[in-house]
Structure 1
Amino acid sequence: MNSTCIESAIAEWVTILGEPGVVAASAEDFGASTIGARRSIPAVLRPENQEQVSAILQVAQRWQVAIYPVSTGNNWGYGSANPVEDGCVILDLSRLDRIRDFDPELGVVTVEPGVTQGALRHFLDNHEGNYLVPVTGAGPTCSILGNALERGYGITPITDHFSAVTKIEAILPDGSVYRTPLSELGGEEVDGLFKWGIGPYLDGLFSQGNFGVVVSITIALAPVPDTVTAFFFSTKDDARLEALVPAVRAVLRTLGGPVVAINLLNNQRMLSMMTPFPEDKAVDGVLPAHEVERLANSHGVPAWSGVGAIYASKEVAQAARRTLRRLLGPVTDRLVFINRRRINTARTIARVLPGRFATKVLGMADTLSGALDIMHGTPNDVALALAYWRSGTLPAAGQPKNPARDGCGLIWFAPLVPIRGKDVRRYINMIERICPQYGVNPLITLTTINDRCFDSTVPLLFDRRDTDATARANDCYRALCDAGRKEGFLPYRLNVDAMGILNSGDSAFTRLASQLKAAVDPNYILAPGRYVPRIERYEA
C-alpha cells in the first residue's frame, strides 16, 4: 500500500474526526493479541457516529486504503483487534455505544457496536428491563454486536446469539447505508420483531463476512424466568462418556424449553479453574497422566463434569428436576441442584466453620455464584481467568481482565461435534493425541448448541513470552484443523491467522462469496481476507 495514499487519507480523516479521533496504533492497545499475531497497523480511527463511519469509508475508497472494523477489539483467542492482513487501518467502533431503542413490553433492544455486555446489563437494570443479557464467558467488556455477528453463543435461553438478531443497519464499503426492506418501506418496528423480513435474506452477509460495517443491530432478549436453577453432574469413569452423551441429548429433547444448553468438561478443564498450573510437574509443558490423576484426586475432580440451568416457573422447575434425575441418574455418579438461596446458606455456614474449611466453602460459593450470575444474564470475568493459567499477569483486584494486554497466550480451537457417543470419543481421542505433541494440555469443553450438535472449545494455552511456545501453539491449531477436516470436526469460527482454511480449493462457495465481494467492494478496502477469499483469483 502506497504510504502517500495512507498519509493523504489520514489527513482527510483528521478533518472528519478531529485529531483526537485519529491515533497512531499502540502495540499495547491494538497490536497485542493472545494468539501471538502481530500486524502492521498504520493508524486507528475512532468515529462517534455512523455519519463519520460513512465518510471514513468514502475516503478509504478514494485512496484505496484498507479498513478493518472492530467493535471493542476484545476478541480474545481469535486475534483481539488485529486485522487479517498487514497494513489495514483499524476502525475502532467502541465510541458508537448508544442503546438506541428498547421496548420493555416486547423485549427487543437496538444497540451499537460499542455497547458491551456490562453496559446492556446496567441499562436494563436501570430501565425496568426484566430480561437476560446474552452473556458469554468473555466478560463484561465485550461487545454484544461483535459477538452476535461472529455467531457467538451462551447458555442463557437464546443460546445462538445471531439467531436473536432481528434487524441490521450497516454502512457499505462505498459509504452508503444498508437497511432491510421492511425498514425502507416504513416498517421499522415490525422489522425489529421479525428476523427474516421480506425478500432475499441479505443480513446474513454481515455475519462472519466483510461486506459492510454494521453500526447497529436489533436483538430479541429472553425474559427473566420465575426461577433459575443450576444443575451439576459428574461421572468418575471416563468409559461412561459414550452413555452420558446420548443422555444429554435426551435431556435437551425432553426439556427443550426449560433446559436450553449443557456443558461437559473434562478433568483438565475443571482443574484449570481450581488450581494454579503446576509448572514444576509438567514435562515439555504438558502434565503427565499420573499428575493429572493425582491433582484430580486431591481436588475431587471427576473424569467428566456437566453443568446446565433450568429456566422455568417453580412448578415446571420441580418437574424438570425429576426428569433430570431420571435421565442423568443412570449415567452419572452425582447430580445436584444449586440456586442463589443455597449459595447464601453455604456462606452463612462458612462463618462458623474452622478457618481452612471456611476458606474452602467460601471459595466454592464464590465460584458457584459467578456461574449463577452468568446463568442469570449478568456478565462477569470469572471464566476469563482461564486465559491466565499458563501465562499472563492478573490485573489488580477491581481492574478488568484483558488477556491480550496482560500477556496471556490463548488460541481457541472451536469445532463442531455431533452429539453421538462414538463421535465424541473419536473427537476426544483426536484432541488428546495431538495437543501434547505441541506442548499443549488438552482442556476440553463440549457445549450443546442444539440437540444435535456440540460446539467444543479447546483453549490452546501457552507462554506468549516464549516465541517457540507461541509457534508450537499455532502449529497445534493447524494440526487440529487438518485432523479435524479428515475426521469431520471443523471449527465454527476462525482466528485472523486461520482464514486461509476457507481459501483452499475452487469451490462454489469461494466463487460466489468472491463475486459478491467484488460487486460490493471492488477495491477490496473493507476487512480484506476476512472469511471471503481475495477476488483476484476469480477475475476474468
Structure 2
Amino acid sequence: MVQRRHGLVRANHPRGRHGRAHRRRRAPHGPAGRAAARRDGALRPHVAAAGHAASIQLSAEDRFEMTRFDDRPFELPGEVAQRFCDAIGAEHVHTDEAARDEYRDPYWHRDDRTYDSSAVLYPASTEEVQAIVRIAGEHGVPLWTSSQGRNNGYGGPSPRVRGTVLVSLRRMNRVLEINHELAYAVVEPGVSWLDLHAELERTGNGDLMISVPDLGWGSIIGNTLDSGVTYLPYGMDYQAPTGMEVVLADGTLLRTGMGAIPDSPSWHVYKRGLGPVLDPLFVQASFGIVTRMGYWLMRRPKAYAPLFLTVPRDEQLAQAIDILRELRLAGIIRGVPVMQNTLTLASHFPEAMGKMQGAEATLPDEVIQEIADETGVGRWGMRTAVWGEPAVVEAHVQAITDAWGAIEGSRVDHARTYSSDDWHEIDHFVDKVQAGIPNLDMLESLPDNVGHIGFSPVVPLVGSKMRELVDLLEETVVEGSGLNFVAGICVISERSAMVVSGLAFDTSDAEVSAKAFATVRTMVERAAELGYGEYRAHLDFMDLAAEQYSFGDHAYRRFVERIKDAVDPEGIFAPGRHGIWPANRRTDG
C-alpha cells in the first residue's frame, strides 16, 4: 500500500473483482427497519421494456399525477418562434435537436425524450428577457429558465412539460459591481463561480472569498434559486444571496427588499425591507425570472485549516452526528461540513480510491469495510475547515480533535494551516472548495456513462434520527435496484442536515436506468412515512415530492397556487416546477 495525504492509502484490489452477484443484506435498525421488515418483501418497481428508460408503469399510489394536472406537450407555432427571432436575433434562437440537447441532464438515458424542449433562447439583457416574457404571455408559451444549464442529477435544465421553450441566461454574464468595503458582489445569471473568482482576481479584490459549491461551472444565481449548497460560513442557511431584480409575467421589473427604493445603497446589504420579504419567494419557484442578485463575500482569513475526519465503522454514524451537532452549537465548526459514505468519497480522493465505482452491483458490507480500512477513508468521512485568527484556528482544531477522539479508531487529519499569503499553494480539490477557490477537479473522478439521481431529505441533526433514515434509504436502494447506496450528509445549520442520497447507475442501460428512477421514487414515499421531505426535487418526481407536503389537505400547495395564479395568470413560467401547476393546467379545480 502507498501512503497518501490525509492518511489515505490506495487499495491493492479493484472493487470489481468481487463480482456483480453479491448482494448486501443488513439487519435493519430502529423503527424504520422494523416497519420495512413488516412490508411485503423487496421492492418491485414496474419497469417497461428496455429502450424506454423513462416508461415506468405507475402504481395506483402514483396515479395522482395523472389526474390533478395536464402535462400534455406544448407545440411552438412557427410564427411565435419568428417573434422571438425578431426580439433577440435569429442567431440566438435555437430549435434544432443538437442545440437543444445541450440543455438536458447528461444522466437521462440517451433515448429518453420525455422532457425535451422546443427551442432555446439566449437573451443578452434584462430588456431582451422582458421582450421574451411579453411575447410568451401574449401567446401562452411556457418558459423554463436556466442560468448556466447545469443541475445535473436533478433533471438538468430540462423542462417539466415537453415542448416548453428554454430561456438560457448564459449571455447575461456581467459582474455588475464589486464592493470591497462591504464585501459583496452583484452579478447577472450567466456569471459562474469561476467567472466571479476570475473577476475578483483581475480587479485586485482577490482577498475576498466566495462561498462556492463543489463544481465551479454553475451559475451563482442559478445555484441560489435551486437552494444549491455552498460550503464557507456564508453557506450556512443560505446567508450569501441578498437583493434580487426580477422580470415578472407581465414583463415589468421588480426589485426586492431595499431595492424597492430607487438607487438605494442598502439594496444588497440588508436582507429584508418594509413589509413581506420577497426574496425567498423566487427560490425554487415559478413567479418570475431573476436577472441580477447581490452575493455576500468573505475576507480571506489570516489562518485556514482544512480538516478530514473519519468514522471507521458504519455503526458509529449516530455518535459522530451527535458530536458534530455539539461542535456546531458551540460555534467551533462553521460553514457547511459534509459527511460522505465510503463509495461516495471516491469523488474526493481518487488518488486513494480510483474513479468512483458506485454504479456496480451492490457490494457486500464486509467488502465496503475492507475498502474503508485499506484506503483510510472510513465508512464515513467528513470534510470541514476552520477559518479565522491563527490562535483561534489552533484552539478550534484542538477542540475538534479532542471531541472526535471519543469515536473509537477515528482520525482527524490536519495536514496544514494556510496563512492568507499561502493561498496560491492550496492544491487539493477539497481544500480549494473550502478556501473559496472554484474548480472542476471533481469531474476527473467521475467515469463515463455513470450518472446519479439525487434524493435529498432534510433531517434533524440528531444521531438516532439520522441512523434511522440512512438505514431506510440504503435498504430501499439495495432492495429496489441492486445498486450501491451513495450519500453525503450536508450539515446546512446547527440543527439540520440534508441527506443528499440516491444511487449511481449506468446511463447507457435502459432497464437499469428505469429501475433506478423507480427506486428513487420509492425513496421519496418511504422517507415521507418518517415525516421527511426533499429540500430539492428531481424533475422526474417533483410532483411526487410535493405530494408528500400534505398537511391541511395540501394547504401549502393550495396557497402557493393562489400566488401563482395571481402573479402569472397565463401560467407561462415553469409549469409544474416543484409540483406547482398554473390554473390552466390544473385538472382538480
C-alpha spacing 1:534/1:499, structure 2 compared with 1 (3 Å): farther
Are 2:565 and 1:522 aligned? no
2:453 equivalent in structure 1: 411
Instruction: Select which of 454, 471, 474 maps to 1:432.
Output: 474
Distance in 1 of aligned mates of 2:556 and 2:581 = 10
Contact 1:154 1:161 in 2 (8 A): no
Classify 1:270/1:539 alpha carbon distance in 2 versus 1 (closer, same or farther; 3 Å): closer
Residue 152 of structure 1 pairs with residue 228 of structure 2? yes
Is the contact between residue 171 and residue 177 of structure 1 (CA under 8 Å) also seen in structure 2? yes
Q: Post-superposition shift, 1:340?
A: 6.4
Q: Is the 8 A contact 2:305 2:418 kept in 1?
A: no
Letter in 1 for 2:546: L
Distance (whole Å) between structure 2 residues aligned to residue 192 and residue 486 of structure 1: 41
Output the CA distance in 2 between the equivalents of 1:225 and 1:15: 50
Among 84, 88, 93, the residue aligned to 1:13: 84
1:176-215 superposed matches below 5 A: 176-180=252-256, 182-215=258-291
Change (3 A) 1:10 1:301: same
Structure 1 residue 160: Cα displacement: 3.9
Deviation at 1:3, TM superposition (A): 8.0
Structure 1 unaligned regions, length at least 5:
346-364, 393-406
**1:533 equivalenced with 2:578 (yes/no):** no
Task: In structure 2, give the amino acid aligned to 1:151.
Answer: S
Task: Please tell me the residue identity of whatever aligns with 1:156.
Answer: L
2:299 to 201, 210, 223: 223
Confirm whether residue 318 of structure 1 aligns to residue 394 of structure 2.
yes
Given that residues 126 and 291 in structure 2 are in contact (C-alpha distance below 8 angstroms), is that contact kept between their aligned partners in structure 1?
A: yes
- Give the TM-score, by structure 2 length: 0.79
Which residue number in structure 2 is paired with residue 470 of structure 1?
513
CA gap 1:87/1:160 in 2 versus in 1, 3 angstroms = farther
1:249 aligns with 2:325: yes
* Cα offset, 1:4, TM superposition: 7.9
In the alignment, the residues of structure 2 paired with residue 304 and residue 84 of structure 1 have an alpha-carbon distance, to the nearest angstrom, of 35
Q: Which amino acid aligns with 1:481?
A: V
Gaps of 5+ in 2: 1-71
Instruction: Please state whether the residue corresponding to 2:571 is helix, strand or coil.
Output: coil
Give secondary structure in 1 for the equivalent of 2:385.
Answer: strand
Q: Distance in 2 between matches of 1:439 and 1:203?
A: 42
What letter matches 1:289 in structure 2?
D
Q: Contact 1:77–1:412 at 8 Å: present in 2 too?
A: yes
The 1:5/1:431 distance shift into structure 2, 3 A limit, reads closer
Classify the secondary structure of the residue corresponding to 1:522: coil
Report the Cα offset of residue 5 of structure 1.
Answer: 5.7
Aligned match for 1:502, one of 542, 546, 560: 546
User: What is the RMSD of the two structures over their aligned residues, measured on CA atoms?
Assistant: 2.6
Offset of residue 163 of structure 1: 2.7
1: CA distance between counterparts of 2:232 and 2:356?
Answer: 33
Residue aligning to 1:379: 438
Give distance in 1, aligned partners of 2:556 and 2:74. Answer: 34
Quote the offset at 1:165 in angstroms: 1.5
- Asked if the contact 1:510/1:533 (under 8 Å) is kept, the reply is no
How many angstroms does 1:278 deviate by?
A: 9.3
Aligned to 1:338: 415
Instruction: Give the aligned length.
Output: 498
Q: TM-score, normalised by structure 1?
A: 0.86
* 1:42-121 equivalences in 2 (<5 Å): 42-121=118-197
- Counterparts of 1:110 and 1:325 in 2: how far apart (Å)? 39
Is 1:29 aligned to 2:102, yes or no? yes
One of 340, 344, 353 as aligned partner of 1:269:
344
Say which SS state the counterpart of residue 272 (structure 2) adopts. Answer: coil
The answer to whether the 8 A contact 2:123-2:172 is kept is yes
Q: Report the equivalent of 1:401.
A: none
Contact kept, 8 Å, 1:229 with 1:310, in 2: the verdict is: yes
Give the Cα–Cα distance (whole angstroms) in 2 for the partners of residues 211 and 85 of structure 1: 17
Give the 3 Å change call, closer, same or farther, for CA 372–5 of structure 1 in structure 2.
closer
Provide the rounded CA distance (Å) in 2 between the counterparts of 1:85 and 1:5: 12
Q: Is contact 1:247-1:331 (8 Å) kept?
A: no
Amino acid at match of 1:515: R
Q: CA deviation at 1:287?
A: 1.8
Name the structure 1 match of 2:202. 126
Question: Partner amino acid for 2:92?
Answer: G
Aligned residue number for residue 15 of structure 2: none
Q: Which whole-Å deviations, capped at 9, do the CAs of 1:88-109 have from their partners, x for residues lacking one? A: 0110101000111111110111
Paired residue secondary structure (1:74): coil
Question: In 2, are the aligned partners of 1:6 and 1:63 still within 8 Å (CA)?
Answer: no
Residue 519 of structure 1 aligns with an amino acid whose one-letter code is A
Contact 1:238 1:303 in 2 (8 A): yes
Higher relative contact order (CA 8 A, sep 6+): 2
Partners of 2:334 and 2:280 in 1: CA distance: 27
Larger displacement relative to structure 2 (437-446 or 178-187): 178-187
Greater CA deviation, 329-338 or 97-106?
329-338
Using a 3 Å threshold, how does the CA distance of structure 1 residues 2 and 376 change in structure 2: closer, same or farther? closer
* SS in structure 2 of the partner of residue 450 of structure 1: coil
Deviation at 1:201, TM superposition (A): 1.0
Q: Distance in 2 between matches of 1:302 and 1:489?
A: 27
